[in-house]
């Protein structure tokens, strides 16, 4: 899987806003809906993917769900499974485009990428906009807290019960949605760009906790021991994710799910998930339909 450095360099240059804006300058002469190399302009994603030899996916950079290595390789549990299933469909390469979670679906609908493989957790509002594959990952949420968890932050209900508490979240992320659904006032939410800035907010005392998937916090703690990860949050919904496609790509989804189901029965699938710290057993019997019932 290759990471498209020119696009990253471009996006880095243009900053967050550019993540959502069409890169008109760079792609002079191209209409908004037709990005060279993007398969989105045609109805037949599979044929186009096979013909051009790759698909583009929206990703984050949040190990173990997604990771971009120093040499530009795009990996992590979701992209690795996506790549393997694409190969089974005769599409040998996948190009990753980093974007915030809140921009993943708008970018997919604006044909900036052909799919999302980032650990974008299923919930009602998202399932109403995109077609999710069957789940690849089932996981949990936790709070990153100061050593010893001095404010005893362990549940969503506990956050709601103490208006003093400030919780760092990714804007438009699943955790932001959980707190909003629980009617936690906006004033208690501290918006941060990514994992590292969430930990910074905690260290600087701008937040009392950072709400993120358990394994993402655990990965962050490998580099920075200055915080603790709580046990999975009991009153947070079970999270699950798979690849996401445009509503117009029903045919592709059907082919993709067929190969994914076969792939999930292989030791290679289990090996990918285990490598990234996930338990392949947890997806057993869990369906997209079920996870799409998650509120928010
Ligand atoms: O689906 C989401 O929005 C969340 N997913 C991951 C893997 N990390 C945080 C993000 O909020």
| Secondary element (H or E) of residue 102 | helix 101-109
Q: Measured from the CB, is residue 120 less than 6 Å from ligand 1?
A: yes
- What is the model's pLDDT at position 43? 56
Q: What is the distance in A from the centroid of ligand 1 to the CA of 94?
A: 21
Q: Ligand 1: does its nearest atom lie under 6 Å from the Cβ of 211?
A: no
Please report where in the chains the tokens 């998937």 appear, as a residue: 213
Which tokens belong to 23? 């890169």
Q: Is 54 in the pocket of ligand 1 (CB under 6 A)?
A: no
Task: Please list the pLDDT of the chain residue by residue as tens digits (296 residues).
Answer: 344 444 444 444 444 444 444 444 444 444 444 444 444 444 589 999 999 999 999 999 999 999 999 999 999 999 999 999 999 999 999 999 999 999 999 999 999 999 999 999 999 999 999 999 999 999 999 999 999 999 999 999 999 999 999 999 999 999 999 999 999 999 999 999 999 999 999 999 999 999 999 999 999 999 999 999 999 999 999 999 999 999 999 999 999 999 999 999 999 999 999 999 999 999 999 999 999 999 99
The per-residue pLDDT for 277 is 97
Predicted local confidence at residue 15, as pLDDT:
45
60 CA distance to ligand 1 middle (Å): 9
The predicted model scores a pTM of 0.87
Coil, helix or strand at residue 118: coil
Query: Cα-flanking dihedrals φ and ψ of residue 131, to 5°?
Result: -100, 115
Provide φ and ψ at 94, rounded to 5°. -135, 135
């Amino acid at each position: 899987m290759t990471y498209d450095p020119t696009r990253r360099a471009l996006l880095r240059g243009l900053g967050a806003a550019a993540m959502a804006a069409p890169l008109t300058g760079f792609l002079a002469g191209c209409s908004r809906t037709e990005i060279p190399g993007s398969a989105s302009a045609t109805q037949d994603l599979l044929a186009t993917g096979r013909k051009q030899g790759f698909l583009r996916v929206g990703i984050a950079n949040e190990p173990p769900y997604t990771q971009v290595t120093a040499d530009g390789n795009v990996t992590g549990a979701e992209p690795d499974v996506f790549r393997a299933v694409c190969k089974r469909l005769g599409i040998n390469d996948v190009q990753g485009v980093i974007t915030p979670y809140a921009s993943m679906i708008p970018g997919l609908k604006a044909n900036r990428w052909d799919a999302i493989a980032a650990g974008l957790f299923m919930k009602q509002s998202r399932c109403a906009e995109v077609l999710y594959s069957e789940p690849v990952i089932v996981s949990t949420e936790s709070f990153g807290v100061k050593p010893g968890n001095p404010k005893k932050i362990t549940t969503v209900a506990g956050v709601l019960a103490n208006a003093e508490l400030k919780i760092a979240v990714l804007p438009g992320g699943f955790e932001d949605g959980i707190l909003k659904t629980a009617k936690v006032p906006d004033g208690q939410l501290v918006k941060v760009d990514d994992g590292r800035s969430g930990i910074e907010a905690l260290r600087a005392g701008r937040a009392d906790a950072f709400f993120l998937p358990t394994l993402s916090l655990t990965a962050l703690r490998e580099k920075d021991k200055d915080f603790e990860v709580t046990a999975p949050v009991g009153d947070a919904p079970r999270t699950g994710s798979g690849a996401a496609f445009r509503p117009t790509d029903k045919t592709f989804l059907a082919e993709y799910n067929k190969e994914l189901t076969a792939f999930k029965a292989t030791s290679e699938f289990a090996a990918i998930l285990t490598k990234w710290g996930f338990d392949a057993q947890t997806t057993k019997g869990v369906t997209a339909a079920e996870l799409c019932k998650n509120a928010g």
